[in-house]
Amino acid sequence: MAYSVVIMHLPAYAFDKPFSDYYASSMEEEKDVSQLLAPNTILRERYKIIDLIGQGGMGAVYLAEDLRLPGRRTAIKEIALEKVAMGDETLMQQAREQFQREASILAQLDHPSLPKVSDYFEANGHDYLVMDYVPGDDLRVVLERARAEGRFLRERDVLRWVDEIADALIYLHSLPQPVLHRDIKPSNIKLTPSGRIKLVDFGLVKLLALDDTATVTVIQGRGTVAYTPIEQYGGDTGHTDVRSDIYALGATLYHLLTGHLPADAKQRFLKAEALTPPRELNPNISRQVERAILWAMELHPANRPPDVATFVAALHGRIAPPTHDRGEAAPLALGELLAEQAPLAALAGATFLLALWLTALAAG
């Protein structure tokens, strides 16, 4: 029997809806200030809380100092499992066991664009996950800053970032037990002061029996609407695969290059033309990048690139995306073709004039 470890869900017999639904609804409510850890609180006689990074109804994320390794800063994710166990001790034990499975899986990941998980523990009735603290702004902040300045992000910069994200996803998808992220979006991508990209944010685990042919680990729950493929709605993880991450990566690229959120998959299912082609929002986007984005964001998974490497090849013009009836970029007008292929057009024109001149000489 093969198994799938699905982040942010609990077993079907435990709850009447996916754990991601409980988690998402809880995270919408901020944690009571009186429940937050105060600065200088010491956890596990090792981690000293410095500041609050973020919070929600399910817990909080703190910046902390590692007292055993002076100078090392960590991000500590506090997860209040009792919020989903709702006082049931059996469910609480199941949740804690699954949290420990998550930590074990995440601790095995090793890639320069992924934060390293170094520890996990239980204290004061809460569970904690310790990982590398990633300094810098997330790409949502970077995008908002550019928009406030009245400019688009440069395509070459965005493609460099996407190349690094793609490398991390190829690593995750290629593991003996493939890993899906399922919540790729600008706010989950950090740009460090050194210019490196880090794909952040992880959730909770579930052991789910699948068929005997597939074993997949899924990080995160339902994703965020504008970046979520249609097969991911409703918390159903049985039909998601690497193409779900490709959709989210394409939607993220769309947002970064156009400054606009893409129409979500449900809107597009009801109204095919809801997704505005990227070049209509930013004419500086190259045609090959537009075509690759629309390919990645095809509604049906079968119409998307089969893997991240293929999507990257399309972004850089090494392969041409197939054409489909809906959602494809419009054919190039002659003027656009000449503008984008100016060197080739000039060479062709010169060759044509030379041929006319030689023909005239031969006739004379």
Active-site residues: which are they? 183
Residue with tokens 């390919």: 295
| Six-digit token string for 188 | 């989950």
Please, what's the b/e burial string for 253-284 (b: 16 or more CB within 10 A of its CB; e: otherwise)? bbbbbbbeebbbbeebeeeeeebebbbeebee
CB 123 within 8 A of CB 43: yes
Residue with tokens 């000039």: 346
77 in a labelled binding site? yes
Alpha-carbon distance 73 to 84, whole Å?
30
Residue with tokens 């052991």: 207
CB 245 within 8 A of CB 173: yes
Give which of 237, 188, 230 is closest to 10, Cα–Cα. Answer: 237
Taking CA 344 as the corner, what is the angle to CA 343 and CA 348, rounded to the nearest 5 degrees?
A: 120
Q: Sheet of 197-199: strands edge to edge?
A: 137-138, 189-191, 197-199
Binding site residue list for ATP: 77
Binding site residue list: 77
